[in-house]
Amino acid sequence: MKLLKCVVRPNALEKVKEALSGLGVMGMTVSEVKGFGRQKGHKELYRGAEYTIDFTPKIEIEVVVGDDLAEQCVDAVREAAQTGKIGDGKIFMVPVDEVVRIRTGETGEAAI
Amino acid sequence: MKLLKCVVRPNALEKVKEALSGLGVMGMTVSEVKGFGRQKGHKELYRGAEYTIDFTPKIEIEVVVGDDLAEQCVDAVREAAQTGKIGDGKIFMVPVDEVVRIRTGETGEAAI
Amino acid sequence: MKLLKCVVRPNALEKVKEALSGLGVMGMTVSEVKGFGRQKGHKELYRGAEYTIDFTPKIEIEVVVGDDLAEQCVDAVREAAQTGKIGDGKIFMVPVDEVVRIRTGETGEAAI
Amino acid sequence: MRGLLAVWGSRLRLFLGLCFLVVPGAAGADELNAGDTAWMLTATALVLFMTLPGLALFYAGLVRAKNVLSVLMQCFVSACAMTIVWIGWGYSMAFDTTGMSEGTMNLNSFVGGLGKLFLSGVGADSMTGTIPETVFITFQMTFAIITPALIAGAFAERMKFSAMLLFSVMWSTIVYAPVCHMAWSGPGAFFWDLGVLDFAGGTVVHINAGVAALVAAIMIGKREGFGQVPLPPHSLTITVIGASMLWVGWFGFNAGSALAANGSAGMAMLVTQVATAMAALTWMAVEWMKHGKPSVLGIVTGAVAGLVAITPASGSVGPMGALAIGFVSGLCCFWGATTLKQKLGYDDSLDAFGVHGIGGIVGAILTGVFASESLGGLGLAKESIGAQLGAQLISVTFTIVYSGVLSFLILKVVDVLVGLRVNEDEESQGLDLALHSEQGYNMEL
Amino acid sequence: MRGLLAVWGSRLRLFLGLCFLVVPGAAGADELNAGDTAWMLTATALVLFMTLPGLALFYAGLVRAKNVLSVLMQCFVSACAMTIVWIGWGYSMAFDTTGMSEGTMNLNSFVGGLGKLFLSGVGADSMTGTIPETVFITFQMTFAIITPALIAGAFAERMKFSAMLLFSVMWSTIVYAPVCHMAWSGPGAFFWDLGVLDFAGGTVVHINAGVAALVAAIMIGKREGFGQVPLPPHSLTITVIGASMLWVGWFGFNAGSALAANGSAGMAMLVTQVATAMAALTWMAVEWMKHGKPSVLGIVTGAVAGLVAITPASGSVGPMGALAIGFVSGLCCFWGATTLKQKLGYDDSLDAFGVHGIGGIVGAILTGVFASESLGGLGLAKESIGAQLGAQLISVTFTIVYSGVLSFLILKVVDVLVGLRVNEDEESQGLDLALHSEQGYNMEL
Amino acid sequence: MRGLLAVWGSRLRLFLGLCFLVVPGAAGADELNAGDTAWMLTATALVLFMTLPGLALFYAGLVRAKNVLSVLMQCFVSACAMTIVWIGWGYSMAFDTTGMSEGTMNLNSFVGGLGKLFLSGVGADSMTGTIPETVFITFQMTFAIITPALIAGAFAERMKFSAMLLFSVMWSTIVYAPVCHMAWSGPGAFFWDLGVLDFAGGTVVHINAGVAALVAAIMIGKREGFGQVPLPPHSLTITVIGASMLWVGWFGFNAGSALAANGSAGMAMLVTQVATAMAALTWMAVEWMKHGKPSVLGIVTGAVAGLVAITPASGSVGPMGALAIGFVSGLCCFWGATTLKQKLGYDDSLDAFGVHGIGGIVGAILTGVFASESLGGLGLAKESIGAQLGAQLISVTFTIVYSGVLSFLILKVVDVLVGLRVNEDEESQGLDLALHSEQGYNMEL
Ligand SMILES: Nc1ncnc2c1ncn2[C@@H]1O[C@H](COP(=O)(O)OP(=O)(O)O)[C@@H](O)[C@H]1O
Ligand SMILES: Nc1ncnc2c1ncn2[C@@H]1O[C@H](COP(=O)(O)OP(=O)(O)O)[C@@H](O)[C@H]1O
Ligand SMILES: Nc1ncnc2c1ncn2[C@@H]1O[C@H](COP(=O)(O)OP(=O)(O)O)[C@@H](O)[C@H]1O
């Protein structure tokens, strides 16, 4: 199984969620993060003191899927989150040894 | 070593923390996340505009443990976080290549 | 490729960011987390009700780098985030199978 | 009809809250009443409080966190810019009575003269009725401040700041000051001579602003994502604070419109309280029945609807009339802010039209009914409910058309000059950062 | 004792803030004083401000973020529902003086008649003393609004909204209006004839609400997790805003209870300020000594304790008496909200009893001491401190028993009708979503 | 010069807002005016509202989230402690007129006697002019409260709570009360006899506090990270709420300084509004031109700058003078809070000096210009603008030196006694947890 960590723009969340659901993915876990990268940040100004904020708000979607579905999911996320402008984000694929569903104790792909 | 990513209900945090401590785990890292899954979300209503919010608040506990302790920890978390109702969450076990304690520079299991 | 999960003190973020940038790292993803560990938390008191809060605010910096750069990055983070006092945090190194840049579809090290 | 007017002339003074005491010559003769002055100083502070921070918070809580400051900024700049407009020319255009004569329709029935430009001739001892003219000027100024600020609810989260500022200055000059003049400047003014009852500004303030809001919402177009993704309020806590301040401040608005600390002010305060409570409970009940749950946003919006609707009536109706007005306005504004808006599909972001426009119209009309002594009111200005309703309808219709057409034209001009709307990137980034280089919240420790 | 009463009769008028001027017949004869009316219009706005948004925020900041709206909603609906109750029957039950006669104990010593149902007979020119009756009605209404809202602090975070609403309506009818009548409706009323001093409502408002709160807290049971997991305030910032507004608004409460802009009002304002400051500093000092640090929640709670305790005394004591009352109430309420609550183990979520109940009792008793001219007060209503204390104790005890028993019965009835408490899932989800389908905060951009 | 003084003596009474009516003996003879009293009760509430929650929020929004409570706490404790100081000895030191005689310079030209310690001799019927002395005492107390609270802006986010408290008590005793006495206690007082115009406290409050703030900022040193990492406001929403409340409350400050509900109060309110609006717009315009965008923090800071600058002038200038004062203060305070601060490199965290110090100086000087009838003012106190400017400059310079030197000495003493600054760990953890064991926000559900 694979854990896909998808860092995307905040307003892409809805689309990515739907794209993954379309592939039969039943669950995911989302968190608000701040991204630093090629995309430049913004300036803030408070009584003459200028701050450059390098971070831009991003959403990280973590989703664990079976090995067979992983590639498809990557493509789906990419399609849903792509605008072509700098700052679209990344997908990191990390190996997962085991998954447990807390409610039932099921493990492996059955637990996803 | 293994990284256990445990997505649980917010009010399970306390119990999970104690369960892990009970096994000798000395540290963990916690973040607030939003979960999407079989558990259904809720409705919000603002001046006649109805929103369905699919996400439910969850807590993600990340804990890195030695290989030998991993199984025990999974069981402990499962026991502490289980209510039997949909939405109890998951445990994802991810391999870890190396751990470093920043303060001392120790590495490996000694650093956990 | 490796995913470095660096849990550090909030006020170390700026330095760590600069240290990594110095090594040519182009991006990273940051989130606010609560850490539990050897460092003790604090007390809060509300109308005679005393709460012990075990968690301390931490920052988790996730950065994916090529295998060759991983060691150097670990050292750089360690140096930037070290104060020598309990609570400096950890670095967890996790293997990454694949990286995709959403904007261009590039994969592998080129995508980082 | 002139003869009849004479008959109830003295009553009318009471009904219209002595608003026409700005009669030059006669004014200076009145003696200062410290009690009346004390109340009007307070009422002025209360009405300013309605805008800053009242309305600012009511609106600010309803937008997304990335636009909170832009809304606060619009209300704040309104307070500043309208102050200058008012002392510069607004007050003169609204309350200078040169050329007016009871029963004569001329240009000065519609707009005041320029005799008081930059408050020329106003000193510390100038009087308006029993209070210093300075207090009257400042009290009326607070009305001129809140009215354009109300409109801002319609185009929240997408209008350029420069456009909003330009629009407000032009609108308050060309729309607000004349309508204010027609209603409140005394014998010879258009609405006044018609015998229209508008104690505290149902027409002048709420219909006027509500209609402009509708026009603006349609012209500027919907917010990105409207109807597709949730655009929920970022902090109803803040909205409740704002609504509460509006309620309290409205005592200054309505009871202050008596321009004195007397029985008329007392009754205005009582009926304001009653109508507000009733409208809030009505909205709550309807929502509870329709959606199964009463909501906080519902009950506070209902309260504002009641406040709006009782405004024109607050010098003319009794507590039972207030109950009725509260009930009807609760129903109608609920319909306006939910059903009507959804049906017509415009994006009046914060329901400036649904609440102020609809509420103002309901109030103006029902004032013509419940002012009748037979219904517990303090008396009509005209011979019958029918005749009064006629006068009310004329003023309502006139204001809708006048404000509608001119707001449209002003927006067209502003669009040409600076453009109305921010671009897509700015809208998605949020107006706070895009227009003001600031963030509303920065909760890191 | 009748003879003695006559002797100090005229003084008493001053002490009790002219509250009994609602004597029919005589009332109409008084002439309107614009200064008094100006102050009472303002005081009314200030007391409404205490509930909306004052108390609403004070309480809302203290609950968890998931329940913030439920608390705001309870305060808001209180303001609305009590308004209707008050004009419907509450005012009549409290202030109609039919059948009352000084020194005669009959049914009307405990509750007013029904002669003023739906404000029948009240017009814009009806007078209460030197102010319009409409102003008196609205001023008193704001007291009727805040009292049930205070109780809500006891059952926060777990009571059904419907239950709270039903309870409030019944309680204000059956408990508040009668106790208000006994204290403030003039000669012939129970407390009045006893010579009880309760200038602004220590007994009527605070003991009354505090005891009901204690009963409610016990009956509804503890919050899930109480005593096991932290249930910390979600925003002390909001609580401080609320406390500050309570402080400022309380000037209307206490100095307004003089019903005039006179020396009595001035002294009431001064002693209110002094007692509040002293109680706040006392709480701070005790906490600093006991826990090593002074806390914000501590100092603001101390301030509220002082405000509560000076309430009954504000027309009777001098600045030095106020210092003493502030000091003692700071101590006692600290003990009530910390030690006592922990010992007895009930979950009075926001310390409605610990602060208002205890503070009200302390204030009512000490009024009987520091009103004495020998202690810098403005004079007792009875011949000696002992006698005055006796009267005070009777009223305190009576109110505790009356409010305690009836609150219990009303809650039982409400429990049968709609159930008092939300279910476990609703409580853990939070009342905002569960009962109102809304969230207090939505900080995503 | 004595002869001249006599000539304009009666005018001066008007200009200086009747502040010197505290002449013993004569005072008791005046009759209570209910209208004046009504306004002054209200004004007192408004000025308290400026500190709690106004200033508290204005400042609290500007600090980081980890220090929000520490700022609220400082403002709150100021309100409490200054109340006790004021009734204990402050009022006596400021307004006891023993030993004063017009034209005679002696110790009592600089500080009041001790005849009113613990308000001895003050009863419910003591009078100050046409209002109860209790009201005058409380009104002036609110000024004594806000002044040390203003200083807290300079050392926010790093001062020990104990040090702040100690400093405030000493400062208000040794610095505030005497300067207040020199300006407002009547014939025989230092500034008074010079013919200085300071209607509502430009010198007494703002220069006094602003200079102390500068000294404190320099002595306590910069915040950790100042100039290196961003230290942005944690909630401009809160700051805007606070600024709005300051604006509204300032009507009490300035118009209340007339001590009556009269034409002087009316004009004070009007010019306050005008100068504030103008200064806000000026700041906005400058920022817009200089940085390309107008900011919320900018416009509200500009408003406060205008409020500060019009304070001394509010009884002496007309609307056009107010426009000018607003414009100049907007410019100068912008320069003070941005350029000057950066150049000199001190860390006046919340610009207490940049806004109150600079604004106060600008206002005090311009009062000497625009009070002239030739410039639309209400009249100078001295024979010419030049002479008036001389008097103004003397009072400004004296106050700068007096406050500067004594603030320095007091801070030295406090440093020895308890230490001024928290340690590094406490500063980085945040003062809320470190000093008060509390957190401002706890948003978990
Ligand atoms: N090496 C990295 N490790 C972790 N996160 C990264 C890395 N590089 C980029 N990111 C994340 O991806 C986001 C987008 O990256 P950026 O370089 O701005 O644009 P793009 O992906 O279009 O090249 C960043 O904001 C950051 O959150
Ligand atoms: N495939 C997945 N990848 C990542 N997180 C998941 C996945 N499936 C579920 N989750 C997380 O687990 C939570 C609980 O899942 P859900 O399907 O609602 O209930 P259950 O685990 O009881 O079957 C979700 O809210 C989500 O945060
Ligand atoms: N086993 C672990 N798994 C995940 N996170 C950990 C673990 N141990 C420590 N941490 C994180 O590292 C932080 C610092 O650890 P702590 O034990 O307090 O100090 P130190 O790293 O100096 O020994 C913790 O607050 C926690 O966020």
* Start-end of H helices in chain A: 13-22, 67-81
Residue with the smallest CA separation from ligand 2 atom 26 is: B35
Inter-chain residue contact F437 with C43, CB threshold 8 Å = yes
pLDDT of residue C68: 95
Rg of chain D, C-alpha, whole Å = 21
Residue of D328, D338, D402 whose CA lies nearest to D365 = D328
Indicate if ligand 3 lies below 6 Å from the C-beta of B22. Answer: no
Mean pLDDT within D378-384 = 96
Inter-chain residue contact C95 with B97, CB threshold 8 Å = yes
Indicate if ligand 1 lies below 6 Å from the C-beta of C62. Answer: yes
Inter-chain residue contact E342 with C53, CB threshold 8 Å = no
pLDDT of residue E30: 75
Q: Is E224 exposed, middle or buried (0-12, 13-18, 19+ CB in 10 A)?
A: middle
Q: What is the pLDDT of residues A46-99, one digit of tens each?
A: 998 889 999 999 999 999 999 999 999 999 999 999 999 999 999 999 999 999
Residue of C38, C36, C43, C78 whose CA lies nearest to C57 = C36
Q: What is the pLDDT of residues E430-441, one digit of tens each?
A: 999 999 999 999
Mean pLDDT within C26-30 = 97
Taking 70 as the threshold, does the pLDDT of residue D329 lie above it? Answer: yes
CA distance D197 to D367: 7
Q: How many other C-beta atoms lie within 10 A of the C-beta of residue D220? A: 21
Nearest-5° Cα angle at B111, B109 to C3: 90
Mutate to test the pocket of ligand 3, among C83, C90, C92, C94 (most ligand atoms within 8 A of CB): C90
Taking 50 as the threshold, does the pLDDT of residue E336 lie above it? Answer: yes
Residue of higher predicted confidence among E227 and E369: E369
Distance of CA E276 to the CA centre of its chain: 15
Indicate if ligand 2 lies below 6 Å from the C-beta of B82. Answer: no
What are the structure tokens assigned to B108, written together?
Answer: 């490996």
What are the structure tokens assigned to B98, written together?
Answer: 């190396």
Mean pLDDT within C68-84 = 97
On whether any CB of chain B is under 8 Å from the CB of F31, the answer is: no
Interface C-D, measured as beta-carbon pairs within 8 A, has a size of 4
Burial E313-323 (b: 16+ CB within 10 A, else e): bbbbbbbbbbb
Residues F321, D87 contacting (CB under 8 angstroms): no
* Backbone region of residue C44 per phi and psi (left: phi > 0; alpha: psi in -120 to 50; beta: other values): beta
| CA distance to D67, D270, D271, E316, E420, per residue, from D321 (Å) | 40, 11, 8, 40, 35
SS3 state of residue B43: strand
What ligand is nearest to the CA atom of residue A99? 2
Please identify among residues 221-240 of chain E the ones whose CB lies closer than 8 Å to any CB of chain B. 229
Indicate if ligand 2 lies below 6 Å from the C-beta of A28. Answer: yes
Mean pLDDT computed over every residue of chain E: 93
Mean pLDDT within A5-31 = 96
| CA distance to B18, D47, D249, F439, per residue, from D245 (Å) | 46, 10, 6, 27
The shortest CB-CB distance from E240 to any of F41, F56, F131 is to F56
| pTM to 2 decimal places | 0.96
The shortest CB-CB distance from E248 to any of F52, F134, F238 is to F52
pLDDT of residue B48: 85
Mean pLDDT computed over every residue of chain F: 93
Distance from the alpha carbon of residue C99 to the mean position of ligand 1, in angstroms: 11
Taking 90 as the threshold, does the pLDDT of residue D13 lie above it? Answer: no
Inter-chain residue contact C44 with E293, CB threshold 8 Å = no
One DSSP character per residue, E216-275 reads HHHHH-PPTTTTTS----SBHHHHHHHHHHHHHHHHHHHHHTTSSSSHHHHHHHHHHHHH
Q: What is the pLDDT of residues D201-246, one digit of tens each?
A: 999 999 999 999 999 999 999 999 999 888 999 999 999 999 999 9
SS3 state of residue A50: strand
Residues in chain F: 445
Q: What is the pLDDT of residues E167-210, one digit of tens each?
A: 999 999 999 999 999 999 999 999 999 999 999 999 999 999 99
Residues F12, F109 contacting (CB under 8 angstroms): no
Residues in chain D: 445
Taking 50 as the threshold, does the pLDDT of residue E73 lie above it? Answer: yes
What's the pLDDT band for B43 if we cut at 50, 70, 90? very high
On whether any CB of chain A is under 8 Å from the CB of C86, the answer is: no
pLDDT of residue D362: 98
pLDDT of residue F319: 98
pLDDT of residue F200: 98
Contacts of E205 (CB under 8 A, 6+ apart): E143, E146, E147, E150, E311, E356, E360
Mean pLDDT within D102-124 = 97
H helices then E strands: how many in chain F? 20, 2
Q: What is the pLDDT of residues B47-85, one digit of tens each?
A: 988 999 999 999 999 999 999 999 999 999 999 999 999
On whether any CB of chain B is under 8 Å from the CB of A111, the answer is: yes
Looking at chain A, which residue has its C-alpha nearest residue D438? A44
pLDDT of residue D312: 98
Inter-chain residue contact F298 with A47, CB threshold 8 Å = yes
Taking 60 as the threshold, does the pLDDT of residue D428 lie above it? Answer: yes
CA distance E223 to F383: 73
On whether any CB of chain F is under 8 Å from the CB of D265, the answer is: no
On whether any CB of chain C is under 8 Å from the CB of E294, the answer is: no
Partners of chain A (3+ Cβ pairs below 8 A):
B, C, D, E, F
Contacts of D168 (CB under 8 A, 6+ apart): D77, D78, D81, D82, D148, D149, D151
CA distance D319 to C55: 57
Residue with the smallest CA separation from ligand 1 atom 3 is: C63
Which atom of ligand 2 lies at the shortest distance from residue B90's CA? 12
Which atom of ligand 1 lies at the shortest distance from residue A90's CA? 12
Inter-chain residue contact C99 with A91, CB threshold 8 Å = yes
Looking at chain C, which residue has its C-alpha nearest residue F440? C44
Distance from the alpha carbon of residue B62 to the mean position of ligand 3, in angstroms: 10
Inter-chain residue contact A48 with F337, CB threshold 8 Å = yes
The answer to whether the Cα torsion of F181, F56, D140, D8 is positive or negative is negative
Mean pLDDT computed over every residue of chain D: 93
Report the gap between the CA of A58 and the closest CA in chain D (Å): 12
On whether any CB of chain E is under 8 Å from the CB of B46, the answer is: yes
H helices then E strands: how many in chain E? 20, 2
Q: Is E292 exposed, middle or buried (0-12, 13-18, 19+ CB in 10 A)?
A: exposed
Chain F residues within an 8 Å CB radius of B10:
444-445
On whether any CB of chain D is under 8 Å from the CB of E60, the answer is: yes
The answer to whether the Cα torsion of D229, D234, D237, D241 is positive or negative is negative
Taking 60 as the threshold, does the pLDDT of residue E11 lie above it? Answer: no
Indicate if ligand 3 lies below 6 Å from the C-beta of C36. Answer: yes
Mean pLDDT computed over every residue of chain B: 96
pLDDT of residue D15: 38
Q: How many other C-beta atoms lie within 10 A of the C-beta of residue A82? A: 19
Report the gap between the CA of B110 and the closest CA in chain A (Å): 22
SS3 state of residue C45: strand
Please identify among residues 93-112 of chain B the ones whose CB lies closer than 8 Å to any CB of chain D. none
Distance from the alpha carbon of residue B64 to the mean position of ligand 2, in angstroms: 21
Indicate if ligand 1 lies below 6 Å from the C-beta of C101. Answer: yes
pLDDT of residue D14: 38
Residue of D367, D312, D362 whose CA lies nearest to D334 = D362
Contacts of E397 (CB under 8 A, 6+ apart): none
Residues in chain C: 112
SS3 state of residue B45: strand
Residue of E205, E77, E184 whose CA lies nearest to E136 = E184
Name the residue with tokens 């996790």. C94
Q: Is F60 exposed, middle or buried (0-12, 13-18, 19+ CB in 10 A)?
A: buried
What are the structure tokens assigned to B79, written together?
Answer: 């026991």
Indicate if ligand 1 lies below 6 Å from the C-beta of A85. Answer: no
Beta bridge partners of E335: none
Chain F residues within an 8 Å CB radius of C14:
229
Pairing of strands A90-95, C98-101: antiparallel
Mean pLDDT within B9-33 = 96
Low-confidence ranges of chain F (pLDDT < 70): 1-29
SS3 state of residue F423: coil
pLDDT of residue C82: 97
Q: What is the pLDDT of residues F336-378, one digit of tens each?
A: 999 999 999 999 999 999 999 999 999 999 999 999 999 999 9
Indicate if ligand 3 lies below 6 Å from the C-beta of C85. Answer: no
SS3 state of residue A94: strand
Q: What is the pLDDT of residues D22-55, one digit of tens each?
A: 333 333 457 999 999 999 999 999 999 999 999 9
Mean pLDDT computed over every residue of chain C: 96
Looking at chain F, which residue has its C-alpha nearest residue E241? F53
DSSP character at residue C62:
E
Q: Find the farthest-apart pair of alpha carbons in chain B and give their distance in angstroms, rounded.
A: 58
Residue of E325, E329, E312, E335 whose CA lies nearest to E399 = E312
Looking at chain D, which residue has its C-alpha nearest residue B45? D295
Interface probe with C: pick from E58, E288, E295, E335, most Cβ of C within 10 Å: E295
Q: Find the farthest-apart pair of alpha carbons in chain F and give their distance in angstroms, rounded.
A: 73
HSE value, Cβ hemisphere, 13 Å, CA-based, for D211: 24
Interface A-E, measured as beta-carbon pairs within 8 A, has a size of 4
CA distance F210 to F220: 15
Indicate if ligand 3 lies below 6 Å from the C-beta of B60. Answer: no
Cis peptide before D232 (omega within 30 of 0): no
Residues C16, C60 contacting (CB under 8 angstroms): no
Nearest-5° Cα angle at F418, F413 to F422: 120
What ligand is nearest to the CA atom of residue A17? 2
Report the gap between the CA of D269 and the closest CA in chain F (Å): 17
